[in-house]
Structure 1
Amino acid sequence: MSDNDIVNDLLQAGELEDQLTPKQRQILQAAVEMFAEKGYASTSTSEIAKRAGVAEGTIFRHYKTKKELLFAIVSPMITKFAVPFFAQHFVKQVFDREVSGYEELLRNLIHNRFEFVKENVTLLKIVLQEVAFHEELQERYKSIFRENVLESFEETVKHFQEKGQIKDYPVHSVIRLTISTIIGFLVTRFIIMPDYDWDDEKEIDRTIDFIMNGLEK
């Protein structure tokens, strides 16, 4: 997916699509590219303006601050992409499917997240870079997870613990160990070492094996 495709997707998902001018589209596209390349803090509005082919003052006519420009990019992803994805697809495809064990659940979970990250690398790179520095982003993602995913995850872990398939660790410890391992795999694969000669299926198998070796009774 090209950066231009990403910006078009964001615009289609956003509530201001019909009100955006061609210059606003150019600014958003340039900002996506530069925030992904250099990070928010290292990117100046003058650099964004230069890449967008507009005067720097044009940016401030549409966005009062650089932070407002960042949120114009990230907020549509959170509100229009992440929420529906988690609520309608993620839980249905992963937690609402009947599986034989926690290992099968992990496989469904990793494949599901793998494809999502693969299609949204540029935007997720921006989010990962900035979420630690913007409390508003942290709170939004926390609320999405708590409202749409956490309860199903807790019930699933308890179910497999009751069946004797995984250790009697505290439920939230199992969730933490699972999520941190999977996120570590995906971030390494697509952001830290994207050009490494990965065998994706074997890496998924190894990730599952690593988690199950720690959790199996």
Structure 2
Amino acid sequence: MSDIEPWLTELLRLNDEEEKMTDKQIKIVQAAVEIFSEKGFAGSSTSEIAQKAGVAEGTIFRHYKTKKELLLSIVAPMMTKLIAPFAVKDFTKILEADYPNVEQFLRAITVNRLEFARKHFPVIKIFMHEIPFHTELREQFKETVAVLVLEKAYKAIRHFQEKGQIIEMPAPSSMRLIASTIIGLLITRFLLAPDSEWDEAKEIDYTINFIMYGLSPRA
């Protein structure tokens, strides 16, 4: 396994606030994240997690009753204690800042999300894989992130609509189109082509220009 990554350092800090993890738990969690991220929850087994962690399979079940409990022990604290506070605190600052134009607003969002994904992508990837299949994760996302962020995003969109910088469209529809484009950038950067030659500044420019003007030539 690789050395301890930033996401694992954060996860250990979050768990230690309640109960200090043992060295074996640390190895289990690191192995589980790597395997869940690579193969998905359904395609992974506790035996291969144990093998990668260098522990007996029974050791996993002494700490976690089921494979799903192991999954939730990884994703839940990251969502409730790290991702949600980040969304509420740091991302709120981005959404509520006073930007002179919509281009600077979109650039701030895109750069912010790129940095966040760069730091936490292994766990984000698991969450993306598993949220369609686990009601607990969907509800947790709605309660801890979506509700807290969306209204602020809608307010920012309506602000730029009033200034004539975004076309009139329901704010949820505008947000969906903006978010899907930025998420597409993140997926390509960190999931589909992580080893490709990449000019991040240019790709950010392309993303922002696409959101603002589509594929039509500018007049």
* Normalised TM-score (structure 2): 0.91
Q: C-alpha separation between the residues in 1 aligned to 2:105 and 2:3? A: 32
User: Displacement, 1:147?
Assistant: 3.0
User: Displacement, 1:155?
Assistant: 1.0
Are 2:88 and 1:80 aligned?
no
SS in 2 for 1:95: helix
Structure 1 residues 213, 4: closer, same or farther in 2, change over 3 A? Answer: closer
Q: C-alpha separation between the residues in 1 aligned to 2:205 and 2:146? A: 28
The question of whether the paired residues in 1 share the 8 Å contact of 2:6 and 2:120 is answered with no
Q: Which residue of 2 aligns with 1:22?
A: 23
Q: Which residue of 2 aligns with 1:191?
A: 191
Q: Which residue of 1 aligns with 2:53?
A: 52
Q: Which residue of 2 aligns with 1:36?
A: 37
The one-character-per-residue Cα deviations of 1:170-202 (angstroms, maximum 9, x if unpaired) are: 111111100011001111111111111111100
Q: Which residue of 2 aligns with 1:119?
A: 119
Task: Give the fraction of aligned pairs with identical amino acids, expressed as a percent.
Answer: 50
User: Displacement, 1:4?
Assistant: 4.5
Task: In structure 1, give the amino acid aligned to 2:201.
Answer: E
Q: Which residue of 2 aligns with 1:67?
A: 68
Q: Which residue of 2 aligns with 1:143?
A: 143
Q: C-alpha separation between the residues in 2 aligned to 1:146 and 1:12? A: 24
User: Displacement, 1:20?
Assistant: 2.4
Q: C-alpha separation between the residues in 2 aligned to 1:5 and 1:118? A: 10
Q: C-alpha separation between the residues in 2 aligned to 1:62 and 1:152? A: 40
The one-character-per-residue Cα deviations of 1:7-64 (angstroms, maximum 9, x if unpaired) are: 2320111256544222222211211121122221111111111111211111111111
Q: C-alpha separation between the residues in 2 aligned to 1:183 and 1:191? A: 11
Q: C-alpha separation between the residues in 2 aligned to 1:123 and 1:2? A: 16
User: Displacement, 1:2?
Assistant: 4.8
Q: C-alpha separation between the residues in 2 aligned to 1:176 and 1:105? A: 16
User: Displacement, 1:145?
Assistant: 3.1
Structure 1 residues 199, 84: closer, same or farther in 2, change over 3 A? Answer: same
Q: Which residue of 2 aligns with 1:203?
A: 203
Q: Which residue of 2 aligns with 1:132?
A: 132
The question of whether the paired residues in 1 share the 8 Å contact of 2:15 and 2:21 is answered with no
User: Displacement, 1:163?
Assistant: 1.2
The question of whether the paired residues in 2 share the 8 Å contact of 1:74 and 1:127 is answered with yes
Query: Structure 2: where are the runs of 5+ without partners?
Result: none
Structure 1 residues 169, 16: closer, same or farther in 2, change over 3 A? Answer: same
The question of whether the paired residues in 2 share the 8 Å contact of 1:132 and 1:138 is answered with yes
Q: C-alpha separation between the residues in 2 aligned to 1:14 and 1:57? A: 21
User: Displacement, 1:144?
Assistant: 2.6
- Root-mean-square deviation over aligned CA pairs: 2.1
Query: Structure 1: where are the runs of 5+ without partners?
Result: none
Question: What are the equivalent positions in structure 2 for 1:83-94 lying under 5 Å apart?
Answer: 83-92=84-93, 94=94
The one-character-per-residue Cα deviations of 1:137-184 (angstroms, maximum 9, x if unpaired) are: 111112233332111111111111111111111111111100011001
Structure 1 residues 17, 28: closer, same or farther in 2, change over 3 A? Answer: farther
